[in-house]
Amino acid sequence: MHHRIAQDLLALGLRPGGVVLVHSSLKSLGHVEGGPQSVIEGLLLALGPAGTLLLPALSYASVGPAQPLFDVRHTPCCVGAIPEYFRRCPGVRRSLHPTHSVCGLGPRAAEMLDEHHLDDTPCGAHSPFRRLRDAGGQILMLGCGLMPNTSMHGVEELALPPYLFGPVVHYRLIRADGTEIAYACRSHDFRGFRQRYDRLAEVLDGRSLRVGGVLKGTAHLIEAVSMWREALAAIRGNPLYFVEG
């Protein structure tokens, strides 16, 4: 099964040896023998030993103003079976952020992840989302469409549209060595707006956004550099381009 997944990903345009951030929906792929493990093995096979695999480990469902404790070792993610499986895999590291952490495996994982806590926003200059752009990486939306694209929050943080930020929230973060630090972060607040990141299809050409099949699901493969450039231009032209009221 993982060989078939790897073949489909390579046919789509996934770059061996590259860095890819994967958003995913397991159920959209149909019956996957081996479940999340097969998907991760397929991704790693396609990337090869020089590649770096990133998956979001977002935890906003369980960490917030009412529950401000985040443990990088144990806090579960809330964005699906594949990233939760990956989070628990041997050798996987996780960025230190209470709501928008990312997990990674591969030679560039530390570079992508280890300074996330230096930002005071979810998707700032030290975040894996911005670092993926700087690395010339790719974003794979595996069976989940274009809507749950967290990297778009990073674009919004550069453009500063009027809907983006809510209040500062104070957290307690427990690091991998068990020590605790205090952390303050500006929250995202889309109250009154619905995200429309599917509109990326309107601003990206066929070289920057490829669409194809992986098993029984539809996958979208995005070039991160192009997405940041074109999406930023779109928001600066119309601050509400990627939302609707």
The pLDDT > 70 percentage for the chain reads: 100
Q: Is the pLDDT of residue 245 over 90?
A: no
Residue 104 burial class via C-beta count within 10 angstroms: exposed 0-12, middle 13-18, buried 19 and up: buried
Q: Is the pLDDT of residue 49 over 90?
A: yes
Q: What confidence tens digit (pLDDT) does each residue in 165-201 have?
A: 999 999 999 999 999 999 999 999 999 999 999 999 9
At a CB cut-off of 8 Å and minimum separation 6, what does 74 contact? none
In this structure, the dihedral spanned by the alpha carbons of residues 41, 44, 45 and 48, taken in order and rounded to 10 degrees, is: -160
Q: What confidence tens digit (pLDDT) does each residue in 1-22 have?
A: 999 999 999 999 999 999 999 9
Give the pLDDT of residue 195.
Answer: 97
Q: What confidence tens digit (pLDDT) does each residue in 189-233 have?
A: 999 999 999 999 999 999 999 999 999 999 999 999 999 999 999
Residue 230 phi, psi (nearest 5): -75, -40
Mean pLDDT of 137-153: 98
Mean pLDDT of 141-160: 98
Give the pLDDT of residue 138.
Answer: 99
Query: Please, what's the b/e burial string for 130-168 (b: 16 or more CB within 10 A of its CB; e: otherwise)?
Result: bbbbebebbbbbbbbbbebbbbbbbbbbebebebbeeee
Give the pLDDT of residue 183.
Answer: 98
Q: What confidence tens digit (pLDDT) does each residue in 72-107 have?
A: 999 999 999 999 999 999 999 999 999 999 999 999
Mean pLDDT of 104-126: 98
Q: Is the pLDDT of residue 234 over 90?
A: yes
In whole angstroms, what is the distance from residue 175 CA to residue 182 CA? 11
**Nearest of 80, 77, 82 to residue 102 by alpha carbon:** 77
Give the pLDDT of residue 160.
Answer: 96
Give the pLDDT of residue 44.
Answer: 98
